[in-house]
Amino acid sequence: MALSESEFGILKEWRGHIQPVLMGSFVFLCCLEAWLWVRNHTWKKNKLPGPFAWPIVGNAMQLGQMPHITFANLAKRYGSVYQIKLGSTYIVVLNGDSLIRKALLKHSVEFAGRPNFVSFQSVSGGTSITFRSYSTQWKAHRKIAQATIHAFSNANSKTKKSFEKHIADEAEELVESFIRKSSSHQYFNPSHELTVAAANIICALCFGKRYGHEDQEFRMLLGNVNRFSEVVGAGSLVDVMPWLQSFPNPMRTAFQSFKELNRDFFTFVKEKVMEHRQSYDPEVTRDMSDAFIGVIDQADKETGLTEAHTEGAVSDLIGAGLDTVSTALNWMLLLLVKYPSIQRKLQEQIDKVVGRERLPSVEDKADLAVLEAFIYETMRFTSFIPVTIPHSTTSDVSIEGLNIPKDTVVFINQWSVNHDPEKWLDPHIFNPWRFLDENGALDKDLSNSVMIFSIGRRRCIGDQIAKVEVFVILAILIHQLAFEKDSSQELTLDCSYGLTLKPFDYKISAKPRGSVLNSP
C-alpha cells in the first residue's frame, strides 16, 4: 500500500532523527563504560596492573589467535600477576613457573574455585568434578573419585592388567590401520585414527566395551566430539559477554549448540551407567563405571552425593581422556617425522630393551628413559593445554603483594610455565635430552616440572591414566613402524587454538619394521 504525502514526510523526518539517536545512545554507552572503568581502576585499593580495556569488549580484541602467547608477552610489561577485562568480566592472569606454583600449591584453597559461568552449568548436568565450584560436597566427590581411579589402576589390581590390555589392543589396531593406509594411499593424516583409538580406550575403560568403527552410536559420539571442539569458543564468549544471549547473533546460536552437545553427551553417559547399575555385581568390577557405582552410589548421606555424581565422574573421565590423549599422540607423530634422528634413537633403545619377539608394555617404562624424555619434552614444548579451565578465588588472597578479591576469575597460563626461561634452557627449542641426567636416566625433578594437567586441588583426576595410554601406544607404534613425512609437504609446528592446541594437518607414511605383529 502506497504512503500518503503526509505519511511519507513523517517517515522521512523519523529517519532523519533515528541516526542521531542511535549514535547518541552508542556514545552514552561508551561513556558509561569508560566511567565504570575509571571508577573501578581509580577507587580500587591496591589495584592490579594491566593493559587499558576498551569499552564493551574490554581486551578481547587484543588477545589475538594465540592468547597464551599474548598473556606471556603482557607479563613482560605488567609482571607475573596482572588484570585484563573480557566483555564485562575482570580477569586476573597468572604467569611463570614460580608464581603459578606458589598460587596453586601454597594458596591452593584460595585458587580452587570455578567461576559461575553459564557454560559450566551446562556440563554433566551440574555434577561435574571438573567444572563445579569448590565446596565440601565437591571435596568429597573428588576425593572418592581419585581414590577409585587409583584403586582401579594401581600396580596390584586385576583391573590394571585389563586396562593395559585394552590399550595394547587398540595400539595394535592402529598399527594395522596405518599399514593399510600407507599401502593404499602412501601418505595419510593420522588424526582421525588417533581420535578413534583414544575414544575406544576410554570407552573400554569406562564401559568395558570397544566399539567397531562403523558402529552408529560410536560414530555419533565422535561426531559430537568434533562439533564440540568447533563450538566450545562460543561458551567462553557468552560467559564474559552474557548480553550475547539477549538477541539473535552467531554466538548465541553456537552457544545453543554447545548446550545441546553437552546434553546429548551426558544422556549417552547416563544410559551407559544405568545399564551397568542393572547388571551390577559388587563382587566383580568390570570397568570404571562399576568402580564409581560401588563407591559413589554407596557414599555416606552426609557427603550429599547421589547417583548423578557417579555419572558426573564418568563424564569427566571420558571428557578429559579423549581429546588430551589423541592430541598428545598427534603432536608426537608429527615430531617423530620432523626429527628422524630422534625417531631412530627411540627405535634403538626400544629394540635394545624390548627386543623383536614381544611388544613393549608399561613395565618397560623404567628402562625406556629416552622415550619418557621424548614424551615429556613434547608436552613441555607444545604445551597443548596452554591455559587451564578458568579458576576463581574462594576468598580474598594476596600474592606478590597484590590483593585479589574473592570470586575473581583467574586464568592460569600453563604455556608460560613450560616456556619460562628461568626454568628451562632454550625453552623454544625441542630437545628431549634436557630430561636425561649424566647417566642417561630420566630426571624426575625436571619431568615433574612440566605442567600440562595443572597442579594443586584442580589437578586433572585422570592424568596418570592418560600418561599410561600415551606411553604404551607410542612405544608400540615406534616398535612396530617407521614413520616418514611426505616430502612434498613442508612440515610446520604451527597450530590451531581451541580446547587444545592441535597441529595443522600433516601427512605421513608408516612402514612395518618386520616385528611381532607382521611376522609370518
Q: Which has the closest alpha carbon to 132: 315, 261, 290, 269?
A: 315
Q: Which has the closest alpha carbon to 382: 430, 339, 445?
A: 430
Delimit the domains of the chain by residue range: 43-518
pLDDT tens, per residue, the chain with 520 residues = 444 455 445 444 544 444 444 454 455 555 555 555 554 544 344 489 999 999 888 998 999 989 999 999 999 999 999 999 998 899 999 999 999 999 999 999 999 999 998 888 888 778 899 999 999 999 999 999 999 888 887 767 788 888 899 999 999 999 999 999 988 768 999 998 999 999 999 999 999 888 776 777 787 777 777 666 666 655 577 888 888 888 888 888 888 888 888 888 888 899 999 999 999 999 988 899 999 999 998 887 788 898 899 999 999 898 877 889 999 999 999 999 999 999 999 999 999 999 999 999 999 999 999 999 999 999 999 999 999 999 999 999 999 999 999 999 999 999 999 999 999 999 999 999 999 999 999 999 999 999 999 999 999 988 989 999 999 999 999 999 999 999 888 899 999 888 789 999 999 999 999 756 554 4
Cβ 39 vs Cβ 50: under 8 Å: no
Q: In sequence order, which residues have a C-beta less than 8 Å from that of residue 241 and are 6 or more positions away?
A: 57, 86, 87, 88, 251
Helix (H/G/I), strand (E/B), else coil: 485 = strand
User: What's the CA gap between 234 and 239, in Å, rounded?
Assistant: 9
Residue 154: what pLDDT?
79
Helix (H/G/I), strand (E/B), else coil: 105 = helix
Residue 107: what pLDDT?
97
User: What's the CA gap between 182 and 500, in Å, rounded?
Assistant: 27
- Residues linked to residue 495 through DSSP beta bridges, in sequence order: 503
| One-letter amino acid of 498 | G
User: What's the CA gap between 414 and 299, in Å, rounded?
Assistant: 35
| Nine cell digits for residue 337 | 617425522
Cβ 409 vs Cβ 84: under 8 Å: no
Cβ 3 vs Cβ 11: under 8 Å: yes
User: What's the CA gap between 348 and 478, in Å, rounded?
Assistant: 10
User: What's the CA gap between 425 and 419, in Å, rounded?
Assistant: 9
Give residue-wise pLDDT tens across range 372-408: 999 999 999 999 999 999 999 999 999 999 999 999 9
Helix (H/G/I), strand (E/B), else coil: 48 = coil
pTM over 0.95: no
Cβ 483 vs Cβ 509: under 8 Å: yes
Q: What is the DSSP letter of 85?
A: E
Q: What is the DSSP letter of 269?
A: H
* Three-state SS annotation for 497-511: CCCCCEECCCCEEEE
User: What's the CA gap between 454 and 383, in Å, rounded?
Assistant: 11
Give the CATH fold of the 43-518 domain.
Cytochrome p450 (1.10.630)
Establish how many alpha carbons lie within 13 A of residue 348's alpha carbon, considering only the half-sphere containing its beta carbon.
Answer: 7
Q: Which has the closest alpha carbon to 458: 210, 133, 160?
A: 133
Element (H, E) at 166: helix 158-185
Burial environment of residue 145 by CB neighbours within 10 A (0 to 12, 13 to 18, 19 or more):
buried
Cβ 323 vs Cβ 229: under 8 Å: yes
Antiparallel, parallel or unpaired: β 89-94 and 409-412: parallel
The answer on whether 460 is annotated among ligand-binding residues is yes
Q: What is the DSSP letter of 517?
A: G
Residue 18: what pLDDT?
45
Give residue-wise pLDDT tens across range 353-373: 999 999 999 999 999 999 999
Alpha helices for 279-368 (secondary structure H): 288-296, 307-338, 340-354
